[in-house]
Amino acid sequence: MHLFEVLIGLHVAAGSIGLIAFWVPIATGKGSKPHRKWGRAACYGFIGAGVLAIAMALLSLYGPEERIPSITDRELFDGLFGWMMLYLGLLTLGFADYGLSVVKHSRSREELRSPRYQAVMLAVVISAIWCGYYGIRVGHPLMQLVAFVGLVAVTLQQVFVWRKEVPSANYVGEHFRALIGMGISAYTAFLSVGLIRLVPDQVFNPLIWAGPSIIGVSLIIYFTIKTKPKPAIA
């Protein structure tokens, strides 16, 4: 068995844990024991899947074998299954890391300014810029879209981290936006493994790949409106 096939199997196993566990924290009471338990399971599952996605992306780009020979547009293949998968793996790790860290350091945002957390965000930004540039080069709008989403997300995270003063409860919104973002990037990356096998003729269809972003952004908007503080009645 080739290394790439082993990585796919491990990626599917780790990703399946995240994909299933992801919806329990959304449906359960925030801060409850099931919310925390299943939320950690989703994060750790997606972190594992993200690391494996990065490894598979590097093998697709630099491995000795040609992946999926039936795809003749190798530049587009490198874009979607190489650079975009690499970026989505880093984005998934970045969202999971940030989503957990804003809760851990809810009383001390200074910790989020340390090189440990800033390096993760920088890696996401660099990979997003390259993914977007490559998407322009090959003329694929999906690569440009996901790159834009990641850059906006990191910008908003940095505003929260470096702002002089923020309301004490704002970390809650940062937490769920980051972890929903984690789900968007993980589901999109997961499609790149399963979609080619289930419906290979639709593998480059941007509408299918954009599905997680549409659902995830809708959830972010919904929860942002739902948790927005109500103005005090005079």
Q: Specify whether the CB–CB gap between 56 and 4 falls below 8 A.
A: yes
Q: Specify whether the CB–CB gap between 179 and 43 falls below 8 A.
A: yes
- Of 124 and 67, the structure prediction assigns the larger pLDDT to 124
Q: What pTM was computed for the model? A: 0.82
- In the chain, the percentage of residues whose pLDDT exceeds 70 is 76
For 17-55, the pLDDT digits (tens) are 888 888 888 787 777 888 888 888 988 998 998 898 899
Work out the widest C-alpha separation in the chain, in whole angstroms.
70
H or E stretch covering 46: helix 33-62
- What's the sign of the alpha-carbon dihedral 98, 122, 212, 4? negative
The Cβ of residue 109 has, within 10 Å, a number of other Cβ atoms equal to 20
Q: Specify whether the CB–CB gap between 50 and 90 falls below 8 A.
A: yes
The Cβ of residue 8 has, within 10 Å, a number of other Cβ atoms equal to 16
- In whole numbers, what is the pLDDT of the chain averaged over residues? 80
pLDDT attached to residue 234: 45
pLDDT tops 50 at residue 232? no
Structure tokens at 43: 């994060």
pLDDT attached to residue 216: 65
For 106-143, the pLDDT digits (tens) are 888 899 999 999 999 999 999 999 999 999 998 888 78
Q: What is the dihedral of CA 214, 218, 221, 222, to 10 degrees?
A: -170
Lowest mean pLDDT among 119-123, 181-185, 187-191: 187-191
Domain parsing of the chain, residue ranges: 3-227
